[in-house]
Structure 1
């Protein structure tokens, strides 16, 4: 599955709620998300519209590594 090209930081934060992430704080234009599923994990997501492909790819790679799944499986869960 291909990465979405028009995804904003807020849209990504909303999609990550499916995996148990919730917003723990906001500093300027960045959101800090935390999940306690499979251990504690923190993410910082810029609220840019749209997110750059490299930024989105790095965030998704970090989430996939935390949940020990492939990026394809993660994309299917979030946007499938």
Structure 2
């Protein structure tokens, strides 16, 4: 994968929701998402103006939507 740009937490949440992830709970400054078919829980720090590229890469890879990164 090439260099990943920085995203805001709003942008990451929008990408996850477009892929079918649904907000299940909020704990402090973290939003937790579940998918009806995919396994696992995605945790996104929110609100954040910038999420570091490594964190973006990790979230999208775990969510199974790495194609955005290429």
| TM tier, smaller | 0.7 to 0.9
Q: Which runs of 5+ in 1 are unaligned?
A: none
Q: Work out the number of aligned pairs and report it.
A: 67
Greater length-normalized contact order (CA 8 Å, ≥ 6 residues apart): 2
After superposition, the C-alpha distances for 1:47-80 in whole angstroms (9 at most, x for unaligned) are: 121001111111111112xxxx7x2x2x07xxxx
Q: What TM-score do the two structures reach when normalised by structure 1? A: 0.69
2:5 alignment counterpart: 4
Cα RMSD of the aligned pairs, angstroms, is: 2.0
Distance, in Å, in 2 between the alignment partners of 1:40 and 1:56 is 18
Q: What is the TM-score normalised by the length of structure 2?
A: 0.77
